[in-house]
């Protein structure tokens, strides 16, 4: 039987799943795979399964935010997922980090979707073996990585970036940035804490691999060729990291 939103069947999904927020980034990922099968592109969920260096991997999208990421996690878990990696971009709160990788060991749960699964006191923590494999993959690619704590928020235009409406409402985004920096948060996104929390609850080995594409409140960003080349490298880093992890797991 196919899942409700992603139209996926257990026999079509690999044990290892890469989640990308952007459905179109999945098309970049799938170009690295051999023997690719397109499962479906339904709503924000674009899903392929194929092989990378002999390892079977599913790549799919979640869209933006924790609620749709929870649907993707639930339906991939229904299909037998055992390893999950969220691959995406992050807003860094540390200057001079554009183009660096952030592979957090944990995330602050400032989104609300994970609250529907477990009390807020439950930590959103990555699988350390998987994190180490991703660190190694980044180092092999000759790039810099940061293993800190990220935070996941629900509101992009109400918490992360000024908009016409937020300015009319006199919202001061700097208070959020200052609060997060005061507790050592290195970056902000909209999915990671949900994915880490569900991964732990599901006993699925889970990690987050993100590329810094913008700084706080979009005061600076990667643009043009620099961004497209960095996002392509992000895809390769995660795929190679999963191959390394597969070898270690035997």
Per-residue pLDDT tens for 201-216? 999 999 999 999 999 9
Neighbours of 147 (CB within 10 A): 17
Indicate whether 98 pLDDT > 80. yes
Give the span between the Cα atoms of 190 and 169, in whole angstroms.
Answer: 22
Dihedral of CA atoms 106, 109, 114, 116 in degrees, nearest 10, equals 140
Q: Angle at CA 58, nearest 5°, toward 124 and 187? A: 35
Per-residue pLDDT tens for 120-144? 999 999 999 999 999 999 999 999 9
What is the domain partition of the chain in residue ranges?
10-249
Burial class (CB within 10 angstroms; exposed 0-12, middle 13-18, buried 19+) of 250: exposed
Radius of gyration of the chain (CA): 17
Task: Please tell me the CATH superfamily of domain 10-249, with its number.
Answer: Nucleoside phosphorylase domain (3.40.50.1580)
């Amino acid at each position: 039987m196919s899942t409700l939103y992603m139209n996926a069947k257990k026999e079509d999904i690999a044990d290892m799943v890469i989640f990308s927020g952007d459905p179109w980034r999945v098309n970049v990922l799938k170009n690295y795979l051999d023997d690719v099968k397109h499962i479906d592109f339904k709503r924000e969920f674009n899903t392929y399964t194929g092989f990378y260096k002999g390892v079977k991997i599913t790549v799919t999208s979640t869209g933006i935010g924790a609620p749709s990421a929870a649907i993707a996690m639930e339906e991939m878990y229904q299909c037998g997922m055992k390893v999950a990696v969220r691959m995406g971009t992050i807003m860094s709160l540390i200057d001079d980090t554009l183009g660096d990788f952030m592979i957090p060991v944990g995330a602050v749960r400032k989104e609300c979707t994970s609250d529907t699964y477990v009390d807020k006191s439950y930590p959103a923590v990555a699988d350390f073996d998987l994190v180490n494999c991703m660190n190694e993959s980044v180092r092999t690619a000759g790039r810099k990585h940061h293993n800190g704590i990220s935070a996941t928020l629900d509101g992009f235009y109400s918490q992360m970036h000024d908009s016409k409406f937020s300015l009319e409402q006199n919202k001061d985004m700097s208070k959020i940035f200052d609060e997060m920096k005061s507790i050592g948060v290195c970056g902000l996104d909209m999915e990671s804490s949900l994915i880490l929390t569900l991964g732990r609850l599901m006993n699925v080995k889970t990690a987050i691999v993100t590329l810094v594409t913008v700084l706080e409140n979009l005061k600076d960003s990667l643009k043009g060729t620099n961004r497209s080349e960095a996002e392509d490298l992000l895809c390769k880093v995660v795929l190679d990291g999963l191959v390394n992890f597969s070898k270690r797991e035997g």
